[in-house]
Amino acid sequence: MRGTLPSATRKLSRAMARVVVKLGSSIVAHDDGSPRAEVLAAVCAELAARHAAGEEIVVVTSGAIARGMRVLDLPLRPSAIDALQAASAVGQGKLYRVYDELLREHGVTTAQVLLTFFDLSARTHYLNARQTLRKLLDWRVVPVINENDTTATDEISFGDNDFLAAQVAILVGADLLVLLTNTEGLYTADPRTDPAARLVEEVADFAALDELSIGHETSALGSGGMRSKVVAAEMATAAGLPAVICSGLRDGALGRALAGEREGTRFPPRGARYSSFKLWLRYAKPSRGTVVVDAGAARALREGGRSLLPVGIVDVRGSFDAGDAVEVAADSRVIGKGITSYAAVELRRVKGLKSAEVREVLPRATDEAVHRDHFVLT
C-alpha cells in the first residue's frame, strides 16, 4: 500500500476505453431473489451513457440463481450443486432479458455470453472467446456475461463471478475492472461489527492486506464475499489493469469509478503487462503437477530468463502429459508456471541428467523441460 492506509486515490490520467463491470448477486437481486429493478436501471443508464461517449463496455453479472430462486419460490439459496445449477438455468434467461431490455431502451444492443473456466483453459477456446468478444465490441455490442452454471460450478461454489470478471477483463485487455458490491469497498475490519472500521481507499501492496481481517461472509444470495473480490483485483492488477471495488447501491458510485474519481477501494495496476499467452498460462490454464528445481535452476529462471533443463530438476510430483501446465517450485515455494515438454513419467527418468545423458535415455527429447517462452514467474 502506498503510504499508510487509507491513502489518497489518484485521478486516472485518461478516459477509460474498455471497461468490465461486474454486478454481484446482492446488487442484482433483493434477499428474496426479486430483481433490484431501480439499481439495474441506474447501472444500465450509466453504462449506456459511457457507451454513447465511445467507451466499450462488458458486463459480467451474477444473479441467475437468485432469479431462479424467486421464480421457483425457493425461500433459501439451495446448497446442493445440482439444485444451484438448475435454479441458475431457470433464472439466466430472465436475468439476461432485464439487461437486454434496459440497455435497448438506451439504444444499446447486447449479447448473452456464457463462459466457463474449463473453456478458457484450452488455448483455442480462450482465443475463440477473445475473438467473439472482440467482434462484439467492434460491433458496439455490450456482452452480458455469466458463468455457464449448467456445466461448471467454480463460481457458484466460490466467487460469485469475481474471478470470472477478472478473467474476462484480462481476456479482452480491459483498461479497468469495476466490481460492484453492497458495501462501499474494502474496510480495515467488518464495518457491521467494528465501529472503528475504515474504508481502504487504495491498495498498492497486497502483502499489507494480511493485517486486515477480510471477510469470507457472503450475502444470502451469492457465493463471493470481500475475499474473492480482493483476489480478483489482485489477478487483474498483476495483469496490468486497475480494479475498483465499490458500491453498486450508492447513487453515482459507478459513474465516479468509471471516471477515475475517488470511489470505493482502488487497486492500481502492478508491473508490466504480460503477453496474451503468458496471461493465459498464468491465470487460465490449470496446473497438473509440480516440478521441483534446485537453487541454480531457480536462479536461472528467476534472474536469467532461461529455460528449465532436466539437469536442474530434483523432484516431479503429480501425473501430467507433455503440453500440460506445471508449477515450478524451489525451496518449497512456487516460483512459476510453465508448459512442460515432457510427461511426468519421462521427467522422472531424466531429472538431474545433463542434456547428452537425457538423449541416451530419450533419443528424441528436447533440451528444455520447460521452454522460457512457455514459462511465467508467479
Phi, psi of 199 (to 5 degrees): -75, 135
Distance between CA atoms of 72 and 83, rounded to whole angstroms?
A: 11
Distance between CA atoms of 45 and 48, rounded to whole angstroms?
A: 5
Binder of ligand GLU out of 56, 100, 147, 327 (CB under 6 A): 147
Question: Up-side HSE of residue 200: CA atoms within 13 Å toward CB?
Answer: 27
Nearer to ligand GLU, 68 or 185 (CB): 68
Distance between CA atoms of 270 and 177, rounded to whole angstroms?
A: 14
Grid coordinates belonging to 55:
467507451
Q: Which of residues 45-84 bind ligand GLU (CB under 6 A)?
A: 62-65
Q: Which of residues 174-213 bind ligand GLU (CB under 6 A)?
A: none
Binder of ligand GLU out of 185, 222, 260, 289 (CB under 6 A): 222
Q: Which of residues 82-121 bind ligand GLU (CB under 6 A)?
A: 88
Distance between CA atoms of 320 and 346, rounded to whole angstroms?
A: 10
- Compute the Cα dihedral for 263, 267, 271, 275 and give only its sign: negative
Binder of ligand GLU out of 26, 85, 110, 146 (CB under 6 A): 146
CB of 63 to ligand GLU, least distance (A): 5
Q: Please tell me whether residue 161 binds ligand GLU under the rule CB under 6 A.
A: yes
Instruction: Report which of 173, 177, 179 is spatially closest to residue 131, judged by C-alpha positions.
Output: 173
Using the contact rule CB under 6 A, the part of the chain among 126-134, 143-151, 187-195, 318-326 near ligand GLU is 143-151
CB of 58 to ligand GLU, least distance (A): 16
Using the contact rule CB under 6 A, the part of the chain among 117-125, 137-145, 147-155, 209-217 near ligand GLU is 147-155
Residue 37 Cα distances to 40, 47, 62, 330, angstroms: 5, 15, 15, 52
Using the contact rule CB under 6 A, the part of the chain among 11-19, 40-48, 152-160, 293-301 near ligand GLU is 152-160
Nearer to ligand GLU, 223 or 247 (CB): 223
Using the contact rule CB under 6 A, the part of the chain among 30-38, 98-106, 153-161, 255-263 near ligand GLU is 153-161
Residue 147 Cα distances to 34, 164, 261, angstroms: 20, 7, 30
Nearer to ligand GLU, 146 or 181 (CB): 146
Q: Which of residues 248-277 bind ligand GLU (CB under 6 A)?
A: none
Distance between CA atoms of 133 and 142, rounded to whole angstroms?
A: 9
Task: Number of residues interacting with ligand GLU: please give it, by CB under 6 A.
Answer: 15
Planar angle of CA 347, 118, 100, nearest 5 degrees = 160
Count of Cβ atoms closer than 10 Å to residue 236 Cβ = 28
Binder of ligand GLU out of 116, 223, 265, 287 (CB under 6 A): 223
Q: Using CB under 6 A, list all residues that contact ligand GLU.
A: 25, 62-65, 88, 146-147, 149, 155-156, 160-161, 222-223
